[in-house]
């Protein structure tokens, strides 16, 4: 059985190493350790919208990578707590940009209403606004579910770029912080990685390459790609997974090559 404490320790070691000397190889290792976090969030949100789970999962990985790039180990925050708003935010940006509305379960709608009423009652009784943790406790909810309810509601209405997605103590993550960095340095790094990625895709065997190009470059869903090739969505998924593994191996080799 895998020792969770050992995994967390290993994860923090990798994050510290990445913060000191960023590399694709280190980043890929951190991604592998946090696959479950992305899948859990994608699964929850897939139950509230019409998008395929697989598509949300891939978008979530983009959020995970953004969190890895921005995480500062010395701040003392658990990486999972830091990464969750980036993963959720990336998926919600995608849903909003694609004009897909999230369906809010009836139970969540009722909890929203109760939460709003309870907030006013407690504000009057305590002389201050209750914290989100206090509201979640009063409603007999976990903080995770209460945050999910908030995020689902926010996706139904215009959101300020200053809106807080996550807060821990004096540290918070706003929506604008989960958006892509447009600085020149980030653009240069993204261009280099894209060139490496195009090269890696070009070296794939044809079935894996066409599956990846259809879904990630042409924007088809896995179901649409499967229909186009006359195969099942599961076959498309297997081809993509094989291709992604080969791409990761190729990028790892490039990342570990000595500079000329």
Single out the residue in 138, 162, 178 at which a domain terminates. 178
Q: Is the domain of 187 the same as that of 174?
A: no
- How far the first Cα of the chain sits from its last, in Å, is 43
Q: Is the domain of 140 the same as that of 51?
A: no
Q: Is the domain of 48 the same as that of 82?
A: yes
Burial 210-237 (b: 16+ CB within 10 A, else e): bbbebbeeeebbbeebbeeeeeebebbb
233-256 and 222-229 helices, crossing angle to 10°: 110
Residue 152's pLDDT is 63
Q: Is the domain of 11 the same as that of 77?
A: yes
Which spans in the chain are helix H? Answer: 4-20, 24-33, 35-46, 53-70, 79-97, 106-126, 132-138, 143-154, 184-202, 206-212, 222-229, 233-256
Residue 255's pLDDT is 57
Distance from CA of residue 257 to its chain's centroid?
29
Q: Is the domain of 12 the same as that of 43?
A: yes
128: tokens are: 């201050």
Q: Is the domain of 64 the same as that of 129?
A: no
Work out the number of other CB atoms within 10 angstroms of the CB of residue 91.
29
Residues 222/237, Cβ–Cβ less than 8 Å: yes
Single out the residue in 178, 201, 228 at which a domain terminates. 178
Give every CB contact of residue 93 below 8 A, 6+ residues apart in sequence. 178, 179
Q: Is the domain of 240 the same as that of 151?
A: no
Look-up of token digits 């990985």: 61
Q: Is the domain of 239 the same as that of 189?
A: yes
Q: Is the domain of 159 the same as that of 94?
A: no
Q: Is the domain of 36 the same as that of 130?
A: no
* Number of domains into which the chain is organized: 3
In DSSP notation, 201-236 reads HHTS-HHHHHHHIIIIIS---HHHHHHHHTS-HHHH
**88: CATH:** 1.20.120.1810
What residue ranges of the chain have pLDDT lower than 50? Answer: 1, 99-101, 157-163, 165-170, 175-187, 189-190, 259-260
Single out the residue in 81, 102, 123 at which a domain terminates. 102
Residue 230's pLDDT is 92
Q: Is the domain of 96 the same as that of 2?
A: yes
Supply the range of the domain harboring residue 51: 1-102
Look-up of token digits 């070691």: 13
Residues linked to residue 172 through DSSP beta bridges, in sequence order? 167
Look-up of token digits 């924007």: 219
Residue 9's pLDDT is 81
**255: CATH:** 1.10.10.10
pLDDT digits (tens, 9 = 90+) for 124-160: 878 888 888 888 888 888 777 777 776 666 555 433 4
Q: Is the domain of 66 the same as that of 129?
A: no
pTM > 0.75: yes or no: no
């Amino acid at each position: 059985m895998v020792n969770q404490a050992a995994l967390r320790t290993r994860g923090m070691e990798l994050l510290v190493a990445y913060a000191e000397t960023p590399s694709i190889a280190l980043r890929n290792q951190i991604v592998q350790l946090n696959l479950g976090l992305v899948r859990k969030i994608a699964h929850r949100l897939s139950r509230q919208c019409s998008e395929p789970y697989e598509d949300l999962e891939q978008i979530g990985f983009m959020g995970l990578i953004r969190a890895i790039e921005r995480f500062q180990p010395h701040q003392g925050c658990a990486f999972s707590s830091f990464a969750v708003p980036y993963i959720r935010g990336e998926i919600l940006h995608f849903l909003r940009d694609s004009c897909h509305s999230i369906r809010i379960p009836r139970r969540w709608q009722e909890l929203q209403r109760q939460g709003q009423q309870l907030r006013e009652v407690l504000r009057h009784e305590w002389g201050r606004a209750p914290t989100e943790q206090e509201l979640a406790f009063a409603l007999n909810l976990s903080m995770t579910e209460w945050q999910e309810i908030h995020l689902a509601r926010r996706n139904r209405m215009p959101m300020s770029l200053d809106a807080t997605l996550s807060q821990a103590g004096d540290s918070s993550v706003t929506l604008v912080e989960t958006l892509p960095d447009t600085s020149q340095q980030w653009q240069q790094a993204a261009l280099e990685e894209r060139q490496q990625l195009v090269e890696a895709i070009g070296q794939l065997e044809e079935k894996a390459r066409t599956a990846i190009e259809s879904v990630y470059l042409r924007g088809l869903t896995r179901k649409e790609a499967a229909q186009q090739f006359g195969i099942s969505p599961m076959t498309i998924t297997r081809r993509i997974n094989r291709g992604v593994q080969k791409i990761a191996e190729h990028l790892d080799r490039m990342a570990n090559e000595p500079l000329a």
